[in-house]
Amino acid sequence: MKTTLTSNWRPLLRAFYPFLIAIAALWAMPRTARAQLYVTQGGTGGFVSKYNTTTGALIKAHFITQLNGPTGLAVSGTDLFVAIETANKVGKYNATTGAAINANFITGLHAPFFGLVLNTSARRLFVTNTTIVTNTVGEYNATTGAPINASLITGLNRPVGLALLGNNLFVVNQETNNGTVGKYNATTGAAINANFITGLITPVGLAVK
């Protein structure tokens, strides 16, 4: 009888193992896998807030504090990148705790406005330099902050917004009465069509899917 019971249980146990493994995987899933929304606020002396993407409920109002003109954001896994316009830098923070990983992750920039986009697979971070002196898009290592090409795209006119689709990098030029969106090769920086969209009025935001 004992042998019969054991043999009957074996198929049930084999069927139950995948279920146990799935439960373990869900339990081990990091909190960062749960979608969260980050918002920059406050200008000089500003901060980053964190919200629930399903309900809109506030998770933490002052998630990252003591920033100096935070503008653009990019997030990947546990890494949250914050463009700080008036401090001319990008900081790197823990997306779960808000702790600084490196508050001076990328420095020496020129008004990195809202233009901040991340290539997660290649671990590359693209950043705009918006002042009239530079008007460029730079490319940086998203792990170390080291420049790959600080002048990847040049000859722009107040670049503010960025969006990435595959190997196409779209750049908003914020001219008041004749704003444009240019399309560039994200690897080489070469223009695919510098006047991809024209005739815009002070464009800023840019999204692509």
| pLDDT at residue number 8 | 52
CB 49 within 8 A of CB 77: no
Residue 29's domain comprises: 2-200
Q: Could you tell me if residue 207 is inside a domain? A: no
pLDDT digits (tens, 9 = 90+) for 177-209: 889 999 999 999 999 999 999 999 999 989 998
Give this prediction's pTM: 0.81
Say if residue 163's pLDDT is above 90: yes
pLDDT digits (tens, 9 = 90+) for 81-93: 999 988 999 999 9
Span 106-126, average pLDDT? 92
| pLDDT at residue number 5 | 44
Q: Could you tell me if residue 63 is inside a domain? A: yes
Q: Could you tell me if residue 209 is inside a domain? A: no
Number of domains the chain is built from: 1
Say which CATH number the domain at 55 has: 2.130.10.10
